[in-house]
Structure 1
């Protein structure tokens, strides 16, 4: 008989795969976020099967963090969106793209 070492469905908290200021790692997403935040928000919401109006708000980041067990808090999400909304949205889109490439989105 084998011992269960990990409980199914429980994952250790992780971080976003890129930093908030890593805009240079994906220039297309960076330009998208700088010049058309509503469009980027709609793209993010569409990726997550959420209402297109939610894409640029703090809630979408919180939902994403919860879904992928990314460490953080509602307060941290609020501050990130308040201080640099374009960079925060770009970070979220880059993470979605990375997870799609890895097949875990």
Structure 2
């Protein structure tokens, strides 16, 4: 009688952090005070960094200058983030927050990116 030994390597796993809500409210600046101070004192720089962290071009938020009344990039990023992460909401609310609370909107999106960022470590092994 022969026995067969099966060895399996650890597989990468992702922890699911699904939620239909934002991880923080639009005015939850006390969750990360230095970040919010940066956003309020230099919103264009903060928006560019957040855009890069989200995987979009670094200077994309600078196009908001040409947008007129409603900042199109801020609103588009917020809608995109809601779609990517499955967060409930409406374009109407995205439009209101983007127009009247731009710095708070960027802070909220930055906090959401940090909250949902999941590191995956890949382990490779060689057969000998």
Which bracket does the TM-score occupy, shorter chain normalised?
0.7 to 0.9
- Which segments of structure 1 move beyond 4 Å, counting only runs of 4 or more? none
- Between the two proteins, the alignment pairs up a number of residues equal to 91
TM-score by length of 2: 0.64
Deviation at 1:13, TM superposition (A): 6.1
Measured against aligned partners, the alpha-carbon deviations of 1:22-81 in whole angstroms (never above 9, x if no partner) come to 101101211111011111111111112212343452101111110001011111101011
Q: 2:101 aligns with which of 84, 87, 93?
A: 84
Structure 2 segments unaligned to the other structure (5+ residues) = 1-17, 62-72, 120-128
Aligned residues of 1:54 and 1:60 also touching (Cα < 8 A) = no
More helix by percentage: 1
Partner of 2:33: 27
Distance in 1, Cα, partners of 2:26 & 2:74: 16
Find the aligned partners of 2:93 and 2:57 in 1 and give their Cα distance.
Answer: 23
Q: CA RMSD of the aligned region, Å?
A: 1.8
Q: TM-score, normalised by structure 1?
A: 0.77
SS class of match (2:96): helix
